[in-house]
Homo-oligomer: A and B are copies of this chain.
Amino acid sequence: MEQAASPGGENLVLIAGAGRLPELVADSLVRAGKPFRMIALRGFTGRPLRGRADAVVDLLDLAATLAHLKSWGPAVVVPAGSVARPSAAAIFNAGAAWRNREALREIAGGGDDRLLRAAVSLVEENGHRVLGVHEAAPDLLCPEGPLGLVKADSEAMASIRTGQAVLSALAQFDVGQAVAVAGDRVLAVEGPEGTDKMLARARALGRKPFGRGRPNAGTVLVKAPKHGQDLRIDLPAVGPRTIRNAHAAGCTGLALKAGGTLIIDRVATAAEADRLGLFVIGFGGGA
């Protein structure tokens, strides 16, 4: 119904950055029978997907992006995929679509997510509704229950509960999208460095005794978005690489917030978990 009301029948515009995610979103939209148009970002969107794009624009040429959005009049805009922060000089030179140099200065001094936040605000201020991948392609998110063939044992379930409790305790603070727990011992809390580096830390702890021997044996990775996190800007994600890193860190499995964690390629992720003997489980409720 809403689709018919949108000019040209396309009521969703996908803005595709780098990585596998934009293609997964596009495929999910096709599977769901949702018509959409796509803007590829020059230098970011991968080649095969760029061939499916309706327009290719420069990341900083927001005027061009806004012009496309204006002519297409989509009901929603969905950004997907990563973008590297351009140099401050490139941002300053981009100019046009940005309202004033002060805002630019702030953005130039910030990182990826501040730039994205600003871009999202600008698109919204131009009358468009911005949705996240979790809303536009919910089938890409971790479902509740086990994902692969390996099951979590009772020891792992106890560690998962500890991890959930830690994440809940930290929910009010700007930290902790993930935690590595062995038994009742918290080996690592994820900061801005990201899950892979946090797992590398848990791995390093296993190389020599730190207080107790082999402290990373039986580790579980527990991962969930922070409360109030804008999932359009920063959606927790795991993929086959996360499985390999978790395995290298001594993890027996991963517990992910169902509906709040993106799985980059569910089939490959589950296959990698099965191959390495790790469980992957989606949990609902609290944390």
Residue ranges of A at the interface with B (Cβ–Cβ < 8 Å): 85, 109-114, 162, 165-166, 169-170, 172-176, 184-189, 191-193, 201, 204-205, 209-215
Contacts and interface: CB of A to CB of B under 8 A. Distances in A.
B205 A191 contact: yes
Given A109-B213, A111-B211, A212-B113, A175 B169 contact: no
Contacts of A184: 173-174
Contacts of A172: 165, 169
A170 B215 CA distance: 19
Contact of A209 (B85, B175, B193, B211): B85
18 contacts: A109-B214, A110-B209, A111-B209, A112-B209, A114-B212, A169-B172, A169-B173, A173-B184, A173-B186, A174-B185, A175-B186, A175-B187, A188-B191, A189-B189, A191-B201, A192-B210, A192-B215, A193-B205
Contacts of A187: 175, 191-192
B173 A166 contact: yes
Contacts of A174: 184-186
Given A166-B170, A169-B169, A170-B169, A189 B209 contact: no
Contacts of A189: 175-176, 189, 191
A204 B211 contact: no
A248 B114 CA distance: 25
A191 B193 CA distance: 14
Contacts of A162: 173
Contacts of A192: 185, 187, 205, 210-211, 215
Nearest to A205: B192
Given A112-B209, A213-B110, A185 B175 contact: yes
Given A114-B211, A191-B201, A175 B170 contact: no
